[in-house]
């Protein structure tokens, strides 16, 4: 998000920053069938059949068994035996302006979920198919602009009287229309680079284009960031040209002059080389190009952004003290000092928070490749439709497996026995309950390629929310079961490690 008082910044992938909300605890041993030898799972293995990660987990998707190669089996046995206690969740990104993307939302027993779109305020339209919202905070700023600009008009055009506030309101709307054009420049560039744009939102101190994915190259990142300030400069030039035939002391002349200056300020402020401003993303692209490492570019631009935040916090009040914003009576100067100090604090907080969000999201992107379907997959045991639950659990424990898949006579997967359903069956009833009554049919969206990793894996899980997924090889052979809870724990562990 731009914090220029009017301009926006492209924001990656998903929407507002979110927080990881759950950790993981080891599950108790698998309940045994009465009269059968006790075969318990290691206490550190969560997700044993019959003990779901959470008692209130929603219906999961099925996930079948696989006969993988000996090497794959060894890998999975090592994973199955490994402790799965997850470290505390890393603090989530705070709310703030941001070119920084938001991490996927973690919900216990569910795959990482993209935050639900809050609506974003008042829907104004869908240019280029992208919804444009006006946040409630915009109305506060619009009222403030109307009041401040109305006071300036009273000095320049006193004959307007109370009508000056109507002119000021028109200026506020025209100014944010300029902000929208700035945001549309980012949006059009993102669409040109095949980057999905979730929405545009006009809000307090500017706007934001929520671009869901990061540019693939530093060159595209530079262009994506630069087009916004470029459009603001173009608008400033157009308003300047429109001023030429207009008499200076008139309402049109004052409006055109105000729009010219405001767009020039928007462009200049956003070109400052620090995240989360457009100039910060341009600096990131340059460092990325030189070093070949996007993380290095993010770190450099984020720390410049933090230095910029400190400069704004100290510099704006000093400029007011030195009289850079004009003279006035002692009372008005004192009021100006308080106003400028408050404005400086707000801007500095927004820039500092945005820079911090950028660093956190860079760390997230760096660790996302560690989330690999193949390494997170559980071993599964195939069972027939009419198999008693107690017998199915006995087979799973004997094989050291952690999932049950219902297959037909030819071994093709039909459905997955739901862990949440298993835990709801009392142990004494399990010999008389068939696994088919606890299963959910397998759908195409619940089939996951074993080769998926990182953001691609998360995108697939988001598309079909479930608690388990069938993992298959490229040949269609069953590889195993991917539990959303395992993905969650791996995600939390990755975010807890330093970049």
26 contacts: CB under 8 Å, gap ≥ 6: 43, 44, 45, 46, 83, 84, 85
What six digits make up the tokens of 12?
A: 């990656």
pLDDT in tens, 192-238: 999 999 999 998 778 889 998 889 999 999 999 999 999 999 999 99
Q: What is the DSSP string of 273-328?
A: SSTTSHHHHHHHHHHHHHHS-HHHHHHHHHHHHHHHHHHHHHHHHHHHHTTTT---
Cβ-contact 278, 229 below 8 angstroms: yes
Confidence of residue 49 (pLDDT cuts 50, 70, 90): low
pLDDT in tens, 198-208: 999 998 778 88
Q: Out of 312-321, 438-447, 484-493, which region has the weakest mean confidence (pLDDT)?
A: 312-321
- pLDDT beyond 50 at 118: no
pLDDT in tens, 283-337: 999 999 999 988 889 999 999 999 999 998 988 788 766 754 444 445 555 666 7
Please choose, from the candidates 496, 405, 498, 487, the residue with its C-alpha nearest in 3D space to the C-alpha of residue 452.
487
What's the average model confidence in pLDDT over 346-363?
A: 85
Percent of the chain, pLDDT > 90?
31
User: What is residue 177's predicted lDDT score, i.e. its pLDDT?
Assistant: 94
pLDDT in tens, 377-424: 888 888 999 999 999 999 989 988 888 888 888 888 888 887 778 888
User: What is residue 344's predicted lDDT score, i.e. its pLDDT?
Assistant: 84
User: What is residue 496's predicted lDDT score, i.e. its pLDDT?
Assistant: 72
Residues paired with 478 in a beta bridge: 472
What six digits make up the tokens of 206?
A: 């500017």
Could you give the strand order of the β-sheet that contains 206-211, starting from the edge strand earlier in sequence?
8-11, 206-211, 197-203, 132-134, 122-125
pLDDT in tens, 129-148: 999 999 988 888 889 889 88
Confidence of residue 442 (pLDDT cuts 50, 70, 90): confident
- pLDDT beyond 90 at 98: no
What's the average model confidence in pLDDT over 452-466?
A: 85
Average pLDDT over the chain reads 75
């Amino acid at each position: 998000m731009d914090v220029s008082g009017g301009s926006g910044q492209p924001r990656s992938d998903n929407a507002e920053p979110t927080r990881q909300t759950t950790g993981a605890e080891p599950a108790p041993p698998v309940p045994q069938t009465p009269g059968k030898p006790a075969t318990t799972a290691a206490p550190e293995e969560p997700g044993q059949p019959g003990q779901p990660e959470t008692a209130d987990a929603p219906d999961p998707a099925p996930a079948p068994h696989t006969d993988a190669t000996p090497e794959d089996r060894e890998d999975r046995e090592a994973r199955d035996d490994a402790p799965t206690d997850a470290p505390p969740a890393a603090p989530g990104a705070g709310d703030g302006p941001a070119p920084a993307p938001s991490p996927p939302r973690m919900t216990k027993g569910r795959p990482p979920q993209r935050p639900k779109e809050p609506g974003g305020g008042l829907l104004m339209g869908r240019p280029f198919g992208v919804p444009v919202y006006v946040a409630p905070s915009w109305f506060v700023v619009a009222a403030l602009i109307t009041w401040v600009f109305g006071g300036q008009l009273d000095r320049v055009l006193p004959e307007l009287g109370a009508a000056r506030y109507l002119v000021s309101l028109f200026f506020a709307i025209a100014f944010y229309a300029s902000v929208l054009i700035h945001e549309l420049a980012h949006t059009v560039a993102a669409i040109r680079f095949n980057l999905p744009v979730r929405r545009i939102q006009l809000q307090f101190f500017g706007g934001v284009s929520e671009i869901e994915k990061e540019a693939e190259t530093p060159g595209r990142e530079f262009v994506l960031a630069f087009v916004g300030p470029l459009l603001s400069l173009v608008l400033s030039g157009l308003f300047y040209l429109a001023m030429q035939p207009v008499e200076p002391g008139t309402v049109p002349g004052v409006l055109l002059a105000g729009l010219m200056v405001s767009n020039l300020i928007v462009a200049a402020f956003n070109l400052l080389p620090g995240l989360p401003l457009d100039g910060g993303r341009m600096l990131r692209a340059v460092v990325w190009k030189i070093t070949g490492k996007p993380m290095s570019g993010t770190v450099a631009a984020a720390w410049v952004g933090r230095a910029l935040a400190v400069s704004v916090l100290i510099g704006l009040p000093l400029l007011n003290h030195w009289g850079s914003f004009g003279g006035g009576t002692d009372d008005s100067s004192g009021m100006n000092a308080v106003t400028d100090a408050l404005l400086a604090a707000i801007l500095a907080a927004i820039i500092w928070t945005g820079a911090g969000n950028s660093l956190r999201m860079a760390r997230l992107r760096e660790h996302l490749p560690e989330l690999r379907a193949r390494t997170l997959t559980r071993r599964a045991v195939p069972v027939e439709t009419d198999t008693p639950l107690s017998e199915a659990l006995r087979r799973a424990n004997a094989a050291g497996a952690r999932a049950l898949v219902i297959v037909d006579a030819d071994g093709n997967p039909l459905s997955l026995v739901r862990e949440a359903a298993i835990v709801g069956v009392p142990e004494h009833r399990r010999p008389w309950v068939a696994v088919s009554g606890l299963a959910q049919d397998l759908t195409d969206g619940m089939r996951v390629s074993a080769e998926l990793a990182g953001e691609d894996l998360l995108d697939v899980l988001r598309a079909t929310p479930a608690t388990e997924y069938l993992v298959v090889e490229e040949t269609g052979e069953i590889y195993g079961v991917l539990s959303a809870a395992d993905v969650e724990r791996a995600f939390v562990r990755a975010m807890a490690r330093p970049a």
